[in-house]
């Protein structure tokens, strides 16, 4: 048991916790864009509209007013982290695939790119 735990303990010390706290770093929509292209685009599409109703992988339309982006960052982060079994399909969970920072960046990108009345706060 100790033999199993030791490398893990060493890694936590050496690499920090897997989801480090980055609340003091501003999210980066540019980094978020590349995460989006790599992981999200195939379902949510270039323009964020999801797919026309042709298959099971139909995804939410980010551009719709009163749509997903009317939720808070916390709620969006939660969906991205844990996934979601929706009426129109399944959103895979990204916990363990994307770091917390990457998730925040991609939310910043969604807001910048698709928010119906976009008001991006930069500091």
Rounded to 10 deg, the angle between the 73-82 and 100-114 helix axes is: 120
Q: Does 81 bind ligand HEC (CB under 6 A)?
A: no
State the nearest-atom distance from the C-beta of 86 to ligand HEC, in Å: 2
Euclidean distance between CA atoms 16 and 23, whole angstroms = 15
Three-state DSSP state, 1:
coil
Q: Does 89 bind ligand HEC (CB under 6 A)?
A: yes
Euclidean distance between CA atoms 102 and 53, whole angstroms = 29
Binding-residue pattern over the window 25 to 64 for ligand HEC, x denoting contact by CB under 6 A: --------------xx-xxx------------xxxx----
Pair 80, 74: CB distance under 8 Å: no
Q: Does 91 bind ligand HEC (CB under 6 A)?
A: yes
| 33 vs 98 by CB, closer to ligand HEC | 98
Q: Does 95 bind ligand HEC (CB under 6 A)?
A: no
Q: Does 123 bind ligand HEC (CB under 6 A)?
A: no
Q: Does 108 bind ligand HEC (CB under 6 A)?
A: no
For ligand HEC, which residue of 33, 104, 105, 106 counts as binding (CB under 6 A)?
Answer: 106
Burial (CB count <10 Å: 0-12, 13-18, 19+), residue 9: exposed
């Amino acid at each position: 048991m100790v033999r199993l735990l030791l490398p893990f303990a060493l890694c936590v010390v050496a690499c920090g916790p897997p989801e480090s706290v980055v609340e003091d770093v501003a999210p980066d929509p540019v980094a978020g864009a590349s995460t989006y292209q790599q992981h999200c685009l195939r379902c949510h599409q270039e323009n964020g509209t999801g797919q026309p109703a042709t298959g099971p992988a139909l995804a939410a339309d980010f551009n719709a007013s009163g749509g997903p982006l009317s939720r808070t960052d916390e709620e969006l982060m939660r969906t991205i982290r844990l996934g979601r079994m929706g009426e129109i399909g399944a959103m895979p969970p990204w916990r363990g695939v994307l770091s917390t920072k990457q998730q925040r960046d991609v939310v910043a990108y969604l807001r910048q790119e698709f928010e119906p009345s976009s008001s991006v706060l930069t500091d």
